[in-house]
Structure 1
Amino acid sequence: MHTRHCRPIARRLRLWLSSLTLIALLIALLHILHQPAKHVDQHHHEQHHLHHRPPLNASKLALLIENRPSPLLAPLMLHFIATLPPDWPFLFLGSHASLAAISASRAVRAHASSGKLGLARIPANMSTAGPEMISRFLTSLWVYEALLPASVEWLLLFQTDSVVCANARLSVDDFLGYDWVGAPWNPRGQWGGNGGLSLRRVSTIVDVLRNQVRPRGGEPEDVWLSERLAAHPSANVANGSVSLLFAGEVNPGEPERVLPPPMGAAGANRSSDGGGSHGLVGGIDDWRDGFYEPMGYHTGGSGAFLHSGIWGTPELREHIWKYCPEIKMTLAMDAARYVPGKCGARWT
């Protein structure tokens, strides 16, 4: 009798233990699946991240042309990629040496693999060796009709002495309504701006180049093109005041103004209409008050030319270091020059 009673109990016990084991295995599996991976293949992680980017806009292209190898190429390119709106694709045209320099960066190679960044040689039939050759390159109809993708309508051209500021409240997309915009030569002028950091409408430039040819040794490409775009019947070129919002180089623009919050209202909750320049908030943005803050900067001379209107006082320079610290990448800076006394270049 005792044995007969134990057998059903033993069977039930075995079934119960099996169920517990299965439940424990399921719990362990769920726990493993919800744990963050501690040993993730780096390449797989990068590809997963890059494949989840917003789609690229084929009508836009940011272009850097540089035949000189430089350690600046990769960090500058990566900064522009991070700062421009995410739908902008990029193209780097370089020499064998400059392509090797920029491709040494793993982050650059990851963007190239994702399709965000194109890396290509400067065509053999073209040259960028010096200002005249660059002007010939950028006024060649072949470049716009054959070299650039046919879908490109807006071309953001930048050089190694230019930068877009991460703290800027304006985006390059805010200027897409213009056929040409760059740091203005005349802040009160109706057209024209430096090409070293410039936004250009390709279709209008193509129309100009189909009807006119820049003479060899003529005006620099940015002067020659912007002058003809200003005379084009359908072009909309940015005037001096708009261009100053886009980029600073020689002439300063209007300083930012921070207004105090209205009585009885918290400054942080204020609408942009109730604030100062672009809705600056009193108590938060006070450090911006009284200073010119363009979307980006172009210095010229590979970072060697700093004009007094932008850079001429310690206060102006100190504010730029706060507002746009990334511009330090583009400048030939040696901190030892700013140390007083007989302190040498080597510090201990």
Structure 2
Amino acid sequence: MLLRDEMGFSQRIDNNGSFLLRFLYALLLIASSDIFGVYAVPESTSPNVDNDELYTPAASSPASASTEVASYQQQALLNGNLHYGSEAIENILPHHMFRNKNVAVIMETNPAGVPSLIPIILHFSSTLGPDWPIILLTLQVNWEMPASPDFRQLYEARRVIVLFIPPDTTFPDHTSVTVFMVRPWLWQLFAPANRMLIFQVDSILCSQSPQRVEDFIEWDFIGAPIIKEKGHGYNGGLSIRNPKLFLEIALEQEKNPTELSPEDQWFYGKLLEREAHMPTADQAKFFAVETWWHEKPLGYHQPARWQHAHMPEITEWCPEVKMLDGGQHYF
């Protein structure tokens, strides 16, 4: 009998089954390739993204042989287009780590230019533990696997995942950050999560604190409270957010644009309108300190900049602040 394969070739199956063996061998070869890899792709309405544009995979490295880095091109092959399905990222992470659970996210467009990035990621991974996978969002063109064995170990274990943001994305100032953050791209990507912990290289968690990040995940949004002279709400540089709710707000902004202010304060105002579950300043100060002073918080954002007079006290309580560069940072 004749069997025609997908390439149009015919093979006769003889009695000794030799063709069947060759067919099974071919299946094994296909299964060992990257064609079945699953990658997350944000929706193509993000800045600087063209619907017809495809992006190439990251260069392979010894540490990435068994762990996929998100590739827009390969995801497009799987989906048939560049539209993101909100459950796609769940397939990148171990299921027990993600669905209805939590994820930590840091964004850095030029990792090699930020010497403190890898130490900060290692610190957050150690402090948060294995139940909080860390997602590094970066530009593909700037990504190279760090030499750090500790980072590579986390990467291989998928406790650190690298995903690429749209090419040519830059953050020269607060305005560019706000424009990026109020669009649906980021929130669609993490919509399956229960809560996101957003952190930056100018933020830190204190290992001496008896509190944990989990103590604050009841809130839809919490960060270091902002003093009235500087605005309102919470700072977003070290913050916990409800991605589903933030996505709703971003989608509404896309349909009916409104005037923007710094993204963290803008979202705070929108959340107030929706009567979201948010803490008072006296409750939020236990989570993090920036402009509003509190003696022993769980974390800090830019402490040297905003709490310079308290730095000896801060350093005694949280020696990890020595890892911070002390300056303002936009990704």
TM-score between both structures, scaled by the size of structure 2: 0.63
2:282 matched to 1:241? yes
Q: For 1:54 and 1:323, how far apart are their aligned partners in 2?
A: 36
Deviations 1:4-54 (A, max 9, x none): xxxxxxxxxxxxxxxxxxxxxxxxxxxxxxxxxxxxxxx9xxxxxxxxx99
Alignment of 1:1-348 (within 5 A): 55-58=96-99, 59-68=101-110, 69-96=113-140, 99-100=143-144, 103-124=146-167, 126-145=169-188, 147-148=189-190, 150-186=191-227, 192-213=233-254, 218-233=260-275, 235-253=276-294, 292-299=295-302, 306-307=305-306, 310-312=307-309, 316-332=310-326
Flag the 1:311–1:98 CA change in 2: closer, same or farther, 3 A: farther
> What is the SS of the residue equivalent to 2:234?
coil
Return the letter of the residue paired with 1:79.
H
What is the CA deviation profile of residues 231-284 of structure 1, one whole-angstrom value per residue up to 9, with x for unaligned ones? 213x1011101110010111113xxxxxxxxxxxxxxxxxxxxxxxxxxxxxxx
In structure 2, the partner of 1:265 is none
Partner of 2:83: none
1:152 and 1:56 mapped to 2: Cα distance? Answer: 10
Is the radius of gyration larger for structure 1 or structure 2? Answer: 1
Cα distance in 2 between the residues matched to 1:171 and 1:179: 17
Counterpart code for 1:206: L
Task: Measure the CA separation in 2 of the matches of 1:319 and 1:73.
Answer: 25
Could you list the runs of 5+ residues in structure 1 that have no partner in the other structure?
Answer: 1-42, 44-52, 254-291, 334-348
| Number of positions where the alignment pairs a residue of Structure 1 with one of Structure 2 | 230
Instruction: Determine what percentage of the aligned residue pairs are the same residue.
Output: 28
Structure number having the greater helix percentage? 1
Residue 165 of structure 1 deviates from its aligned partner by: 0.7
Question: Whole-Å Cα distance in 2 between the matches of residues 217 and 122 of structure 1?
Answer: 25
2:179 is matched by which residue type in structure 1?
R
Q: What SS does the aligned partner of 2:266 have?
A: helix
CA distance in 1 between partners of 2:148 and 2:244 (Å)? 34
User: What code does the residue aligned with 2:308 have?
Assistant: W
Alignment match, 1:264: none
Separation of aligned partners in 1, 2:267 and 2:320: 30
SS of corresponding position for 1:123? coil
Q: Closer, same or farther in 2 for the Cα pair 1:165/1:330, shift >3 Å? A: same
Question: For 2:301 and 2:227, how far apart are their aligned partners in 1?
Answer: 15
Q: Which letter maps to 2:131?
A: D
Deviations 1:266-318 (A, max 9, x none): xxxxxxxxxxxxxxxxxxxxxxxxxx00000001xxx7x522xx331xxx322
Q: Is the 8 A contact 2:139 2:166 kept in 1?
A: no
Partners in 1 of 2:247 and 2:169 — Cα distance?
18
Looking at structure 1, the residues matched to 313 and 247 of structure 2 have their Cα atoms a distance apart, in angstroms, of: 40
Query: Which segment is superposed worse, 112-121 or 55-64?
Result: 55-64
- In structure 1, distance between residues paired with 2:240 and 2:121: 17
Secondary structure of the corresponding residue to residue 201 of structure 2: coil
Q: Once the 2 structures are TM-superposed, how far is the Cα of residue 142 of structure 1 from its aligned partner?
A: 2.6
- In 1, distance between residues paired with 2:305 and 2:320? 16
Larger RCO: 1 or 2 (CA < 8 Å, sep 6+): 2
Separation in structure 2 between the aligned mates of residue 163 and residue 298 of structure 1, nearest angstrom = 7
2:9 maps to what in 1?
Answer: none
Give the Cα–Cα distance (whole angstroms) in 1 for the partners of residues 218 and 228 of structure 2.
Answer: 19
TM score, norm. by length of structure 1: 0.60
Aligned partner of residue 294 in structure 1, secondary structure: coil
Structure-2 change in CA distance of 1:110 and 1:120 (3 Å): same
CA RMSD for the aligned pairs?
2.9
Structure 1 consecutive aligned stretches of length 4 or more whose deviation exceeds 6 Å: none
Cα drift, residue 135 of structure 1: 1.2
The C-alpha deviation readout for 1:312-337, integer Å capped at 9, x for no partner, is 1xxx322222211111111359xxxx
Cα distance change of structure 1 residues 211 and 74 upon mapping to structure 2, 3 Å threshold? same
The runs of 5 or more residues in structure 2 that have no matched partner are 1-62, 64-93
Query: Residue 183 of structure 2 contacts residue 251 of structure 2 at CA under 8 Å; is this kept in 1?
Result: no
Q: Output the CA distance in 1 between the equivalents of 2:320 and 2:194.
A: 28
